Structure formats: structure tokens, C-alpha cells
Amino acid sequence: DSGVTQTPKHLITATGQRVTLRCSPRSGDLSVYWYQQSLDQGLQFLIQYYNGEERAKGNILERFSAQQFPDLHSELNLSSLELGDSALYFCASSAGPGKGYEQYFGPGTRLTVT
Amino acid sequence: GDSVTQMEGPVTLSEEAFLTINCTYTATGYPSLFWYVQYPGEGLQLLLKATKADDKGSNKGFEATYRKETTSFHLEKGSVQVSDSAVYFCALSDQGQAGTALIFGKGTTLSVSS
């Protein structure tokens, strides 16, 4: 158990809908990362937050957004969903500058868009 | 940009065989290197890491040495078990940064039979 939790575990929704994925980092970790894992694209970085502020952006679509709250949990919002958004979405956390850079991953949310 | 290349799988071995999974990287700076393992239906687990040239990471009988001259971080294990069957990902992140995204290889599936 990495200490990173993600909910829900599975999500099935229809095209055009909007969903929210939730992540709670390990206790004490300030950085949260979101990744997408799909068969064709592999594991791709979407976005990083550090202590409530956006830190880095990867291949994140404009239809996707995220935020990190004062209690450090994070949410990834996916809107106007398309079939191609079906994937596993992972959250990872790390301690932050000077305290540790290893990323610990949650179990993931499997999103199926029908 | 930075990238990671892993050997294509699947790799199929008998129990107690020697394992090598090749990984090479391209990076402009001095990255940290990681191996992650993903068991079926689970998230990614950090297997081992190395932060500078000639560092050897090791865990659970797995080893990998950071070779700057050949830009490689090959994963080895002397005697694999059926329980090692999983997907293995090589990854890098820029060392010294406040906290940056991991760049992953495409993953190598290992199947070990008894």
C-alpha cells in the first residue's frame, strides 16, 4: 500500500459527460501528479500541483482541469468526454523540494466512456 | 526532449532464469532513473532508483546500475520467480528540480512460468 488513495476505482460514463476523479496523497506529501495510462499512448504525465499551486503541465487536454485543495487532496475534472478518453488515470505524490523526489502511485481510476 | 526506450516484450522465462530488461535514456540534464513495476490490476510500485552516475539501485533481488557513458539503466535479477510476472517500466526525472514529471518507457511485460 503506497498510502495514496484514489476514488472511484471504476467509472463508466457516456460521451459528452463530465466526471471528477479524486486523489489523496501520502501523509505529508505536498506534490501531486496526474498521469494517464492508455494502450496506445502508454503512461503520460498530465499535470502537477505543489502545495496548492499548479507546477507543471504535460499533455493535458483543454477539456481536462485539475486543482489541489488546502488539505492537499486533488481532483481531476474531465469534461466533454470522448471515447478516446477511456484509460487508467493515476495519481502520484511526492514529498517535495529537499524532502524526497520519489513518486508513489495510487491504485488508479479506470474510466470507460461509452 | 527527454525520452526513455525499453526493450519490447513480452519476455517469457522459466522460474530461476536470469532476467535482463534493457533501458536507455536521452536527457539534456542529469536525470534520476527509476524502475517501477505494475502487477495485474494494480498501480505502479517503485522498485528501485538511482540518482547519479554509477549508483546501483537494488530491491527484492532486482538491480540496476546508472551508466552515464552508455545512457543505460538495465534491470537485472539473478533468479526470477513466478511472482515476478508483471509489467516493468523504466522512467526518468530531471534531478535537482523541485519536483518534475516522470517520463516513462513503454513498459516490458515479464511472464515467468514454473
In which residue are the cell numbers 513495476 written? B37
Residues of A in contact with B107 (CB under 8 A): 42-43
Q: What is the pLDDT of residues A57-94, one digit of tens each?
A: 888 999 999 999 999 999 999 999 999 999 999 999 99
Confidence at residue B105, expressed as pLDDT on a 0 to 100 scale = 95
Cell of B55: 549508483
Between B35 and B52, residue with greater pLDDT: B35
Q: How many residues does chain A have?
A: 114
What's the pLDDT tens digit per position in B90-106?
999 875 454 578 999 99
- Residue of A101 and A9 predicted with greater confidence: A9
A104 contacts on B by Cβ (under 8 Å): 46
- Tell me if B71 sits within 8 A of B24, measured CB to CB: yes
Q: Can you tell me the distance from the alpha carbon of B10 to that of B19, in angstroms, rounded to the nearest whole number?
A: 12
- Average pLDDT of chain B is 92
- Between CA A112 and CA A110 the distance in angstroms is 7
pLDDT attached to residue B99: 54
Q: A55 and B43: CB-CB below 8 Å?
A: no
The whole-angstrom separation of Cα B86 and Cα B43 is 11
First to last CA, chain B: 41
Rounded to the nearest angstrom, the minimum Cα separation between B7 and chain A is 14
Phi, psi (deg, nearest 5) at residue B88 = -110, 130
Instruction: Say what the pLDDT of residue A59 is.
Output: 84
∠ CA B77-B41-A17, nearest 5°, is 140
pLDDT tens for B9-32 read 899 999 999 999 999 999 887 889
Identify whether the C-beta of residue B47 lies closer than 8 Å to the C-beta of residue B88.
Answer: yes
Per-residue confidence (pLDDT) for residue B98, from 0 to 100:
45
Give tens-digit pLDDT for A11-24: 999 999 999 999 99
The answer on pLDDT for B41 being more than 70 is: yes
Please state, in angstroms and rounded to a whole number, the distance separating the CA atoms of residues A43 and B107. Answer: 9
